[in-house]
Amino acid sequence: MSQKNRLQSGGRIDRSKALTFTYNGRQYKGYKGDSVASALLANGVDIVGRSFKYSRPRGIVAAGAEEPNAVLQVGATEATQVPNVRATQQELFDGLVCSATNGWPSAESDMMAAFGKVGGKMMPPGFYYKTFMFPQSMWETYEKFIRKAAGLGRAPLVNDPDEYDNMNQHCDVLVVGGGAAGLMAALTAARSGARVIIADEQDEFGGHLLSSRERIGGKPAADWAAEIVDELAKMPDVMMLPRSTVNGYHDHNFLTIHERRTDHIADKAPEGQIRQRMHRVRAHWVVLATGAHERPLVFGNNDVPGCMVAGAVSTYINRYGVVPGNKLVLMTTNDTAYQTALDWADTGREVVAVVDTRANPQGERIEAVRKRGIKVVTGSAVIDVQGKKRVSGVSVGSIDAKGEKVTGKVQHLSCDTVASSGGWSPVVHLSCHTGSRPVWNDEIIGFVPGATVQKQLTAGGINGTYALDKVLAEGVKAGKEAASRLGLTAADTQLPNVRTVREGTPMALFHIPHTKPTSRAPKQFVDYQNDVTAAGIELATREGFESIEHVKRYTAMGFGTDQGKLGNINGMAITAKVLGKTIPDTGTTVFRPNYTPISFGAIVGRNCNELFDPKRYSAMHKWHLENGAKFEDVGQWKRPWYFPKAGETMQQALDRECTATRESVGILDASTLGKIDIQGKDAREFLGRVYTNAWAKLAVGKCRYGLMCKEDGMVFDDGVTSCLGENHFVMTTTTGGAAGVLEWLELYHQTEWPELEVYFTSVTDHWATMTISGPNSRKLLSELCDDIDLDKDSFKFMDWREGTVAGVPARVFRISFTGELSYEINVQANYGMHVWEKLFEHGAKYNLTPYGTETMHILRAEKGFIIAGQDTDGSVTPIDLGMSWCVSNNKPFSYIGKRGMVREDCVRKDRKQLVGLKPKDPKAVLPEGAQAVDDPNQPIPMKMLGHVTSSYWSANLGRSIALGVIKGGHDRMGESVYYPLADGRVIEAEICSPIFLDPKGERQNV
């Protein structure tokens, strides 16, 4: 198809660069510089979608972010699908593939159309609430159907191949909007020496100037803008971000900018390039120069393709060289829109009439239009439109001075395009994001930004200032003010010469009356994307939804991807009129981030796949990888879980690891345990206050197990702390609890006991820690260490010694989490791998077996050793754990948790207490989390006694074992409890001591 609406010359497109694109499966041509919308209009494509509820054909109405209808699905391949792309904001590139989002199966011939027309009557406001809520069980069925029919676009079904990222920025002044005001503000601030970022959502800076025929300083406005842009681009501390939408304005002048870096080049970003970038900006000052959106008027059938906003028509003509029709009728409440009639007439196409709602409009542009011989019908309005897939004509009637009723005869005019202008609505969205409410201004007939707590300035259209000379002046003023507030000497930017246009007073009119009452008149659309009509708003208010927030939710006005940019103010005005209130009394709904839809990719940035979350590794990780370890996540650490040999199941590997450790020697990488170096003369006293047990008498060279509680007396961490010197200790914590424990120590030191002389330093990463455990561990160690006397009577259980292991200085701790003879070897992490490998060189003859966290869990459970966080859950005291031996009440100073532990609730006899559990069937392994009951045949809900916290198959014992909490369990030894499972089985278990193996601890004392 030829570009039948394309002008031979003019506009900012490059006619030497023809581009081919596909819309709804058909190929079209456009030019470099086109938006998808301008290219579609050039090709005479009228219908870009079907409406949400009534399935009415819809065309392009606007030229920017406010476009409600031309919301397309873009993407040539499955992986590059992007939903909800505004055709008005998508630059055309060669090979672009897009299709209408709405319309099932196609926008041209919609299967829903018939249903829609009938369904329209069935779908009044509140439709979802009234119709689809009951029966509730059917909602999922309804929803699928509605979603498919409504067509909200779709996400790709395969991974997006492109990369997105985030970047942090700081500046003195962030200027939002690169139009006349924004450019002047940025230039003035930058010339004053400020660090400036200027962002604009379009591909070129200039905003409205790019489609204007005004002159600045004797030059075409766009040329003037280009000169300013050149100057800004040369300044080192100015960052210019085109194609970048400032989407969110958050507290403390934190703003998010969504930059589309390659969406204009191709479907997929060129190799090595980032497709979209989210800039996270901290700005000392923000200048909002966001401009204004033109309001369409609300009249009968105002959604028929061919109905457009007046300024958008001018933009298509002046910027893109596209006339979106042949015969224009323009309806306006103001002078500004007359320019559209002049622009249209200049293309050589027909302006049928300008219909002005004012009785006696006076102004320069009106005179110019009349001089061209264009018919101007005053005191009148287009009350409805004829046509289905394209406007074919309009009905024009005279109206009263208030615009409330049609007063005279209605005449018919034949045309294919209706441009309307009800004035302009300042783009106040960003200023509202931080909680500021906009303020109605009668003079400009719109909301302007209200008071704010942010360091925010505004300039130009956002203030309702539309005359170009005043817009430029406000830009300079904002730039100077920002500079001087920053303490800079504000540069004085000369204002260029601009001709002032004499204008008459606009009329405050939103909803055009009809000869019929609103409820009977042809549909008068307020919100195109959600099919909200004036009649619908009237109905909502009649049904009692009088708050504007309720009207919004009842009618769906302002929802959707456009968030009511075009229709909201009209909707509020209609609500106010029906309620007999003023617009300020009616108020606005709340604007929230984001201003326009943003892809998840840009939010996520690089925090995906391998970089989703840090993976922490020990110094021996490579060995684990090379030896086939399966890994378990413990916090962010990747810890070996178990080391299967070829052909082994997990259970077989665990059985082998468990047996080898108890029979000969196993080795565990324990580097991930938290380690905190504690120095200072009060270190010992501090330990006594944070642990429940006593530390006063722990001698140099000795180790002790400790329990740590929070104030409520509940256990939160445990570990072994060793006395390295009289004023020097090293504390170990659980792997997951390391950071929390260090913070806890600092918190108490800094806030409660700052007088104690003690310092804490994390040494978790500094030491590589390997534990050799089993009856042959001494023999193995003796082969690699000749400077420590390993004799059982000189290096006893719970001692530590300094020495050399495999040539590396080491601290060796004789502590045990398995109940076996064990040595924990600590060396500086840079040498961890060397020592680990040497242990294996010498360990082969002892069948040195690496084991992971799972075998560690089994071996410690055989001994009844708890794991904080598994056998405890923040509701368990040391007494509940049967660990009163680890609580000392003879300390001179109190300790954290002491008071909590003696609360009435904590000394109840029927508290859940930790016990061992032996299933009656020794082959049955209880699931962790299973709930115990006394009588499995009682009716549901059963009376639950506690749950299984740890449960394993023990190869060493040849049976299943478990730990769990049972109400009053310490006094129920030998009794049975029952675990009814989800699969119908019931496992009976005997309550027993949690120590299943070597109750006297002889194995670790050899």
Residues in contact with other proteins by CB under 8 A are 165-170, 195, 272-274, 280, 282, 606-607, 610-611, 613-619, 621-622, 637, 672, 677, 679-681, 700, 724-728, 757, 759, 761-768, 787, 802-804, 806-809, 811, 827-834
Phi, psi of 685 (to 5 degrees): -60, -40
Q: Is 702 exposed, middle or buried (0-12, 13-18, 19+ CB in 10 A)?
A: middle
**Burial 609-629, CB ≥16 within 10 A → b, else e:** eeeeeeebbbbbbebbeeeeb
Coil, strand or helix at 431: helix
State how far the Cα of 398 lies from the Cα of 405, in Å rounded to an integer: 9
Asked if residues 924 and 948 have their Cβ atoms less than 8 Å apart, the reply is: no
Residue holding tokens 């323009």? 330
State how far the Cα of 842 lies from the Cα of 663, in Å rounded to an integer: 17
Sorted by sequence, the CB contacts under 8 Å of residue 487 that are 6+ apart come out as: none
Sorted by sequence, the CB contacts under 8 Å of residue 798 that are 6+ apart come out as: 702, 703, 704, 814, 815
Amino acid letter, 41? L
Q: Is the peptide bond before 135 cis (omega within 30 degrees of 0)?
A: yes
Q: Where are the alpha helices (DSSP H) in 235-270?
A: none
Asked if residues 45 and 107 have their Cβ atoms less than 8 Å apart, the reply is: no
Sorted by sequence, the CB contacts under 8 Å of residue 81 that are 6+ apart come out as: 73, 74, 75, 154, 155, 156, 157
Asked if residues 513 and 403 have their Cβ atoms less than 8 Å apart, the reply is: yes
Amino acid letter, 69? N
Residue 889's DSSP bridge partners are none
Q: Both ends of the chain: CA-CA distance in Å?
A: 93
Helix (H) or strand (E) holding 339: helix 338-346
The secondary structure of 178-228 as a DSSP string is: -SHHHHHHHHHHHHTT--EEEE-SSSSTTGGGGG---EETTEEHHHHHHHH
Q: How many CB atoms lie within 10 A of CB 708?
A: 26
- 3-state DSSP helix/strand/coil % of the chain, to nearest 5: 25, 30, 45
Asked if residues 117 and 54 have their Cβ atoms less than 8 Å apart, the reply is: yes
Phi, psi of 967 (to 5 degrees): -60, 125
Phi, psi of 952 (to 5 degrees): -150, 165
The secondary structure of 366-397 as a DSSP string is: HHHHHHTT--EE-SEEEEEEE-SSS--EEEEE
Asked if residues 961 and 891 have their Cβ atoms less than 8 Å apart, the reply is: no
Sorted by sequence, the CB contacts under 8 Å of residue 842 that are 6+ apart come out as: 780, 783, 784, 848
Q: Where are the alpha helices (DSSP H) in 844-895?
A: 853-862
Sorted by sequence, the CB contacts under 8 Å of residue 373 that are 6+ apart come out as: none
Asked if residues 515 and 410 have their Cβ atoms less than 8 Å apart, the reply is: yes
Tokens of 906: 């904590």
State how far the Cα of 76 lies from the Cα of 795, in Å rounded to an integer: 72
State how far the Cα of 49 lies from the Cα of 64, in Å rounded to an integer: 17
3-state secondary structure 948-1005: EEEEEEECCCCEEEEEEEEECHHHCCCCEEEEECCCCCEEEEEEECCCCCCCCCCHHH
